[in-house]
Amino acid sequence: MTHEIKLLFQTLKTWQQQGKKAVFVTVVDLEGSSYRRPGVRMVFNEDGDSTGAVSGGCVETEIERQAQSVFKSGKAKLMTYDGRLRIGCEGILHILIEPVFLSEELLKNFETALKHRQNFRIDAYYYPEVGEHKNAGTVVILNGKTYSLNPFFESVQIDDQECFSQKFNPLFQLYIFGAEHDAVQLCQAAKLLGWEVTIVASADESKSCDYFPGADALISPFFENIDTSDVDEQTAVVIMTHSYNKDVQYLMALKEIRPAYLGIVGSINRRERLLSTLLDYFPDISPEFLEQIHSPAGINIGAETASEIAVSILAEILAVIRNKKPEALRNKVGSIHG
């Protein structure tokens, strides 16, 4: 997940400013099942502090122990963790631990890529044999340029090396149109998922960003001046103003967008009135726009409170963007992630 990489890089930048050594940890392969799949990452520093996790908590202590030799030798190593020998996970994790130092150029260009919503890739080169390896490590590819995280790694793949490659999308973002109490709850819950959250309040509402803990921005444009240029396939939009007139005007302003998710909070009858009014103003509106609307927003989990409704909405967004039909995991046959 892009937000996890962002957090790891922010942490590493802070540790580097403090003069602390660190290691970068990547699950590069998996046999069987585990809490997280290959591609999950975390960082440790020489004082034992960490950010991120590669499991539900059963693996990290062993990773910290094995990382000590990396701090001493400066060489990357591959370790395995057999969860079958313990209660919990049922697979074997193959984990690359490597020294890490982020260059100023990498940090600057990474921030630029996030700001401009650009894709990037991370490749981890490793040997499948357990133990220390002189030439193993991870590289980040930004705009066609390669940056090594391991300062001792020469990023040239050798015949007997494996490569775990992972593409990252721009940070997922949520636009919340509305500034009432339930918008606060949705904002807070979305931030726990690592999403970038923008609150869109109408020009007549006297709310500040401080009213929405976790919000990255609050904007108050006039309806006719709403900028939708940042709305892309990594964007969800939820309209929850509790004002029929505002909902109609927002829908008019958003009629050309194609986000990953578009939801409207309200009843079925209210939805039908909104769409009918929209068609009165724009009889030639695209059927694709109308078909993408999820209203009432959310999945049926019996939500009552604002916090519960936020969970319901976020669950539907995740199901839509992951192309999954909500169901109880106890009813699944086979792999959870299948």
pLDDT digits (tens, 9 = 90+) for 153-208: 876 666 788 999 999 999 999 999 999 999 999 999 999 999 999 999 988 888 88
Q: Which helix (H) or strand (E) holds 121?
A: strand 120-126
Strand 173-177 relative to strand 196-200, pairing: parallel
**Confidence label for 58 from pLDDT (cuts 50, 70 and 90):** confident
| DSSP labels, 180-199 | SHHHHHHHHHHHHTT-EEEE
Q: Is the pLDDT of residue 316 over 90?
A: yes
Paired tokens of 148: 């090594």
pLDDT at residue 88 greater than cutoff 60:
no
Give the per-residue pLDDT at 329: 81
CB 297 within 8 A of CB 316: yes
pLDDT at 263: 98
Q: How far apart are CA 198 and CA 77, in angstroms?
A: 41
Q: Could you give the CA distance from residue 5 to residue 169 in angstroms, rounded to a whole number?
A: 11
Nearest to 178 by CA among 265, 236, 259, 256: 265
- Torsion, Cα 65 66 72 74, to 10 degrees, reads -140
Q: What is the pLDDT of residues 278-307, one digit of tens each?
A: 999 999 999 999 999 999 999 999 999 999
Predicted confidence (pLDDT) at residue 55 exceeds the cutoff of 90: no
**82 vs 68: which has the higher pLDDT:** 68
The mean predicted confidence, pLDDT, of the chain is 92
Does residue 86 carry a pLDDT above 80? no
Q: Is the pLDDT of residue 308 over 60?
A: yes
239: nearest Cα among 229, 249, 225: 249
The two beta strands, 235-239 and 217-219, are unpaired
* Per-position DSSP letters for 50-77, written without gaps between them: EEE-SSSSSSHHHHHHHHHHHHHH--EE
Residue-range domains of the chain with CATH: 2-168 (no CATH), 173-321 (3.40.50.720)
Q: Tell me the whole-structure pTM to 2 decimals.
A: 0.90
Plot region of 117 (φ>0 → left; ψ -120 to 50 → alpha; else → beta): left
Give the pLDDT of residue 224: 84
Is 124's pLDDT higher than 60?
A: yes
Q: Answer yes or no: is pLDDT of 87 > 70.
A: no
Q: What is the pLDDT of residue 296?
A: 97
Q: Can you give the pLDDT at residue 276?
A: 96
Residue 197's pLDDT is: 98
End-to-end CA distance of the chain: 18
Read off the tokens for 184.
């606060």
Over residues 128-144, the mean pLDDT reads 93
Q: What is the pLDDT of residue 141?
A: 97
Q: Is the pLDDT of residue 337 over 70?
A: no
Region 126-151 average pLDDT:
94
Q: 222-227: long-range contacts at Cβ-Cβ below 8 A with a sequence spacing of 24 or more?
A: 223/249, 223/250, 223/252, 223/253, 224/253, 226/200, 226/250, 226/253, 226/254
Predicted local confidence at residue 323, as pLDDT? 94
Q: Residue 330's beta-bridge partner residues? A: none
pLDDT at 102 over 90: yes
